[in-house]
Amino acid sequence: MTEATRLVREGRLLDATARIQERLGGGVPGTSSAASSPGSRAGGTVTRGSAAGLAYRLHVPRGLPAGAPLLVMLHGGTQDADGFAACTGMDAAAERAGVAVVYPEQSRSANAMGYWNWFRPGDQARDAGEPAMIAAITRTVAAQLRTDPARVAVAGFSAGAAMAAVMAAAYPDLYCGAGVHSGLPYRAAGDVASAFAAMSSPPGAVADAGPVPLVVVHGDADRTVAPGNGEAVLRSALVGAEPGRLDRTTGRAPGGRDWTRERFSEPGGRVLAESWTVHGLGHAWSGGPGGVQYADPSGPDASTAMLAFFGFTADRVGVHPGAAVG
C-alpha cells in the first residue's frame, strides 16, 4: 500500500497498477500457482470465438434448447478464461442446470496481467470501453444460441466481480442479475490510487448499483479485497429501495466452512439482493475444486448458489423480470 501510494505521487501510474495487480494476484495458500487447466466440459462442448476485439470461451451443455439461460463469467486478474472455468467449476454446474456459459477474456494489450480495468472512468459506462466489448460478446453469443433475453446474467471474481457490478449498472436492460464474488461496488474507484485504497478500506458512500438484482459472495478472511467491500456491494444494491430482510440463514458446507446468508426484497416480493458471508474464506472462489489456483473447496458452492439466485435452476430464487420469490 505504501509503495503504491508513493508511485502514484511520483506519477508512475503503470508501476502503481502493477502493485495493485500483485496484490490482487494472491491465491489460496496451499493451492497450485501453476497455469490452471481447462474446466470440466461435463458432457457439453467448448468452443472459442471473438467479438468486439475480445476473445471468449463458450461452454454449451449437451442438447441445449433455444430459449435457455446464458451466463457471462468475468475472470479475475492473472487468470484467463480456461483458468476461471477451472477454479469455479461453473461448466459442470451449468451443464446440470442447462445454462450456456461464456467467458470473455481480457486482452493482455489492455492490461498486461489480464485485469479488467474496472476502476477507470472510461471503463465504467455504457457503450464505452470494456463494458461495450463485454456487452457485444453477450449479444453475439445470445443471438448465436438463441437464448432467452430475459435470462442473461453476469458474474465475476475479484477484478472481474468489480466489472460485473459495472455491467449490471450500465446494462440493466441486458442482464437479469449479477454475481459479485470477492469484488468491489460500482464506481468504488476512479483511478489507480483510489482503487488500491478501496481494496483496503471499503467506501462508506456507494453509488446506486441500479435495478439489477445482485448476489454477493465474500470471505471474511479476505486480505486482498477487504470483506467490507462485500457489505458495500450489498448497500449499493439497496440504494433508494425500501427493502425488508427476507431471511437470515446460517449453515456449514459439508465438512467445510460456516456461512451466513441474507436476502433482501422489495415490497412486491422480488429479491433485490442476496449476500453470502463465508467465514474463514480468503481471496478465492467458494466451493471451487481442490488444487486449483483461486479456488477453495471447503466453502459453500458459489457457482450453484449464483445459478439458483438468477433463477436458472430448479431451486430458483427467481430474480428475472416478472418473477417472484420461489
Catalytic residue list: 158
Q: Give, in order, the Cα–Cα distances in Å from 295 to each of 76, 187, 210, 289, 303.
A: 12, 26, 29, 6, 12
The Cα 14–Cα 313 span in angstroms is 43
Q: Yes or no: say if 50 and 250 are a contact pair by the CB < 8 Å rule.
A: no
The Cα 248–Cα 295 span in angstroms is 26
The Cα 51–Cα 49 span in angstroms is 7
Q: Yes or no: say if 206 and 177 are a contact pair by the CB < 8 Å rule.
A: no
Q: Yes or no: say if 224 and 198 are a contact pair by the CB < 8 Å rule.
A: no
Q: Yes or no: say if 300 and 288 are a contact pair by the CB < 8 Å rule.
A: no
Residue found by looking up cell 467465514 in the block? 279
Reported in sequence order, the residue ranges of the chain that DSSP labels E, i.e. its strands, are 45-51, 54-60, 70-74, 100-105, 152-157, 177-181, 214-219, 244-252, 258-265, 271-278, 285-286, 295-296
Within 8 A by CB and 6+ apart from 19, the residues are 3, 4, 7, 196
Hey, what's the cell of 48?
472459442
Q: Give, in order, the Cα–Cα distances in Å from 42 to each of 14, 92, 198, 321.
A: 40, 5, 38, 30
List the one residue out of 299, 114, 169 whose CA is nearest residue 222: 299
